[in-house]
Structure 1
Amino acid sequence: MTDFPKSAALMQRGTNFLGCKHAILCGAMSWVSERNLVSAISNAGGFGVIACGAMTPDLLDTEIAETKARTDKPFGVNLITMHPQLFDLIAVCKRHGVTHVVLAGGIPPKGSVEAIKDFGAKVIVFAPTLALAKKLLRSGGDALVIEGMEAGGHIGPVSTSVLAQEFLPELSEDHLVFVAGGIGRGEAIAGYLEMGAVGVQLGTRFACASESIAHPNFKKAFFRAKARDAEASVQVDPRLPVIPVRALKNKGTEEFTAKQIEVAGNLDREEVDMGEAQLQIEHYWAGALRRAVIDGDVENGSLMAGQSVGMVKQEEPVADIIQQLMRESEEALARR
């Protein structure tokens, strides 16, 4: 039996796949989606995901072990496809028997999906276009996350509602599709479930949970923010194909624009090649995010947040957030 029968029925394929009670994934937020938040989400019936980001294999090894010490429920690991040690990180996941690996940040390199499936783990992929989604699912992806531009962090150009209308009618019958980006309430979850999604992914709503290690200054910035304050970064040079990042506007977002101009100048003078230029941009983001999340420097750090930030008003336990989302979804479905 479940307290949320209508929602549970629509999430059934998602919960069967994830092995959890509610098909609500936590988005992988660097510095935030670590052992404490991930284990709390899994313990509360959701599905926590460790954000590996730029971690070394040794750091990921420790993070997985510490998460397992805090929960006996399933959780996943998010790996960035461009990580230079991707296959070493996959080996760490294999050693720990990780059940689900999320591949994000680009097309998975040759052999990576096979290496994950080789030890029995499920592969979750992201795709910004329908054609790429079909290709990744044909190539071994077990489930897909479609993420709209309302999300925080690195984003694509299309809104969640449009992606859902485009992808779900085509894919939902034969494939497992989770929807992400701008989701802050259960009524939205109910709508996407009715359209064929098997679950959802939220990041911003969990960033300020009681169990999140984010600095109090970081959380206060979220509580004060409105949806319009979460802006996408501007690309200043077409030679630097910087993926836009959505974050709360502050001095740090202005500094990022200046950083792009600086790196473009280095390219002009041939002081760096394109690969190094792009790496400098990525390293900037990693450092800026740490300054905000860990050090509490909300002026110069990066306050990555989705547009649902306007719905985040206070610190709440993860279990309460998940219960509220499921209750809102159930009530919405009951009114249909």
Structure 2
Amino acid sequence: MSDLVPERSASGHSAAAPDRAAAAARIELERLWEQGTRFLGTRHAILGGAMSWVSERNLVSAISNAGGFGVIACGAMGPDLLAKEIAATRALTDKPFGVNLITMHPQLGDLIRVCIEHQVGHVVLAGGIPPGAAVRAIKDGGAKVVAFAPALVLAKRLARTGADALVIEGAEAGGHIGPVSLTVLAQEILPHIRDVPVFVAGGLGRGDAILGMLEMGAAGAQLGTRFAASAESIAHPRFKQAFIQASARDAMPSVQLDERFPVIPVRGLVNDGTRRFLVHQGETLRRFQSGELSKEAAQLEIEHFWAGALRRAVIDGDVDGGSVMAGQSVGMVSSIQPIPEIIAELVEQAVQVLAARAARYGA
């Protein structure tokens, strides 16, 4: 009969106890993000942020195959190219994935049509307030609408006017950002939006941080920076190496020198390009004040500085002069990991916190 008695440690606890605690913690995690997993149709409520030049078929399918939810970054693609990318992604995964569309795209209607024709289940509308016609077209086509909400008043409006889920993204994120941190947005929005899933984004790099947001009411989390430096990412090796070497303090938003010439804030790694951008703004301002440039021409000079800069960094590996967009979670990127390993690590970090808490309080 002795072989039926559970082995006990020196403290008197069963050796099976940690396994039971971990299993219970996983069940609790599944409960916490059930609203998100049910909405996405995934095992884990973890979305891949849509990153231009990075979030293409390879990365998107890898995230979905690992139990998360990959999202194609349509960016400036036309309808034909988007159709090919959706088909190529579907050839690599039979799991759910979405498509991110920019609301200001001149062919937005045609891009929505492509998504519907290819039976994309979730369409993310980014870059501005989603037009009502676009929301209706997506929903009439049988897909779900995901929209970004930078404030509570807009979150309520979007949920009321057709958004099936929301993303709140803090200023800690990489790329184009708003002015408010995720910790503040979460406190402002999560307690008041319950009818639709709300996913959080911006500066998230660990599973315990995601857990904290889930316990505040989030349905799941969106990550970009960690996935951009993954093994499956097509980003240039120098781009990934820049992430590994960077700290959180290296990911800074672009600076605006003169309020008359707005600069859309973009968070990226400080490099020679960002320093030259400041010089370029100063020189353009001088030419405007001397009458050499009109206000409109000066604004275009400033906006065109970064034209093609993201592609140069991601694809060509120009991490000195290109735009190396990265969130502040870049400081948590210490190696190039496969996507399944990243997602498993995030889940395990959340599970460990839940298990330790249960052990501490005897639950």
Q: TM-score, structure 2 length as denominator?
A: 0.87
Secondary structure, aligned partner of 1:4: helix
Q: 1:13 aligned to 25, 35, 44, which one?
A: 35
Q: Which residue of structure 2 lines up, in the alignment, with residue 106 of structure 1?
A: 128
Does the Cα contact within 8 Å between 2:202 and 2:327 map onto a contact in 1?
A: yes
Q: What displacement does 1:77 show?
A: 0.5
Which segments of 5 or more consecutive residues in structure 2 lack a partner in the other structure? 1-22, 358-363
Say which SS state the counterpart of residue 77 (structure 1) adopts.
strand
Q: How big is each residue's C-alpha offset from its partner over 1:185-217, in whole Å with a ceiling of 9 and x where there is no partner?
A: 011011001101010000001011110000000
Equivalence for 1:202: 223
Q: Which residue identity is paired with 2:214?
A: L
Question: What residue number does 1:213 align with?
Answer: 234
For 2:170, the equivalent position in structure 1 comes to: 148
Give the whole-Å Cα distance in 2 for the aligned partners of 1:271 and 1:61. 41
Is the Cα–Cα contact under 8 Å of residues 240 and 278 in structure 1 kept in the other structure? no
Alpha-carbon offset, residue 261 of structure 1: 5.1
| Match of residue 319 from structure 1 | 340
Check conservation: 1:6, 1:334, Cα contact below 8 A.
Answer: no
Structure 1 residue 227 corresponds to structure 2 residue 248: yes
Q: Confirm or deny: 8 A CA contact 2:231 2:336 kept in the other structure.
A: yes
Indicate whether 1:39 and 2:61 are aligned.
yes
What is the count of residue pairs matched by the alignment? 333
String of CA shifts for 1:267-322, please: whole Å, max 9, x gaps.
97675748x946972x6545100000000011110110000101101111100000
Compute the displacement of 1:223 (Å).
0.5
Question: In structure 2, what residue type is equivalent to 1:230?
Answer: A
Letter in 1 for 2:236: H
Give the drift of 1:238. 2.1
The aligned counterpart of 1:291 is 312
- In 2 relative to 1, CA 241–70 (structure 1 residues): closer, same or farther, beyond 3 Å? same
Residue 122 (structure 2) pairs with residue 79 (structure 1): no
Q: Which residue number corresponds to residue 147 of structure 2?
A: 125
Answer yes or no: is 1:181 the counterpart of 2:198. Answer: no
**Alignment counterpart, residue 301 of structure 1, candidates 316, 322, 325:** 322
1:135 counterpart = 2:163: no
**Runs of 5+ consecutive residues of structure 1 not aligned to the other structure:** none
State the alpha-carbon separation in 2 of the partners of residues 149 and 138 from structure 1.
25
Instruction: Give the match's secondary structure for 2:138.
Output: helix
User: In structure 2, do the counterparts of structure 1 residues 104 and 226 end up closer, same or farther at CA, with 3 Å as the change threshold?
Assistant: same
Aligned AA (2:270):
K
- Give the match for residue 243 of structure 1: 264
TM-aligned CA distance change 1:284 to 1:29, over 3 Å? farther
CA shift in 2, pair 1:60/1:285, >3 Å: farther
- Residue 48 of structure 2 corresponds to 26
Relative distance call for 1:88 and 1:278 in structure 2 (3 A) is: farther
In structure 1, distance between residues paired with 2:24 and 2:90: 26
Assess, with a 3 A threshold, how the Cα gap between structure 1 residues 240 and 122 changes in structure 2: closer, same or farther. farther
- Is residue 139 of structure 2 the alignment partner of residue 97 of structure 1? no
Distance 1:77 1:133 in 2: 21
Q: Is the 8 A contact 1:101 1:122 kept in 2?
A: yes
Structure 1 window deviating more from structure 2 (173-182 vs 144-153): it is: 173-182
Q: What one-letter code is carried by the residue in structure 2 that aligns with 1:219?
A: K
CA–CA distance in 2 between the matches of 1:35 and 1:162?
A: 34
* Alpha-carbon shift at residue 3 of structure 1 (Å): 8.3
Query: Highest CA radius of gyration, 1 or 2?
Result: 2
Rounded to whole Å, the distance in 2 between the matches of 1:127 and 1:161 is: 14
For 1:331, the equivalent position in structure 2 comes to 352
Report SS of the residue matched to 1:255.
Answer: helix
% of aligned pairs identical? 65
Task: Give how far 1:240 is off.
Answer: 3.4
Task: Give the CA deviation at 1:235.
Answer: 1.5
Aligned partners of 1:63, 1:259: CA distance in 2, in Å?
36
Q: Which residue of 1 aligns with 2:26?
A: 4
Selected match of 1:49 from 43, 60, 71? 71
Aligned residue for 1:231, secondary structure, equals strand
Alignment pair present for 1:61 and 2:92: no
Q: TM-score, normalised by structure 1?
A: 0.93
Provide the rounded CA distance (Å) in 2 between the counterparts of 1:187 and 1:26: 18
1: CA distance between counterparts of 2:246 and 2:167? Answer: 26
Question: Partners of 1:85 and 1:101 in 2: how far apart?
Answer: 15
Kindly state the Cα deviation for residue 2 of structure 1 after the two structures are TM-superposed: 9.5
Name the CA distance, whole Å, in 2 between partners of 1:54 and 1:103. 14
Distance 1:183 1:109, change over 3 A: same
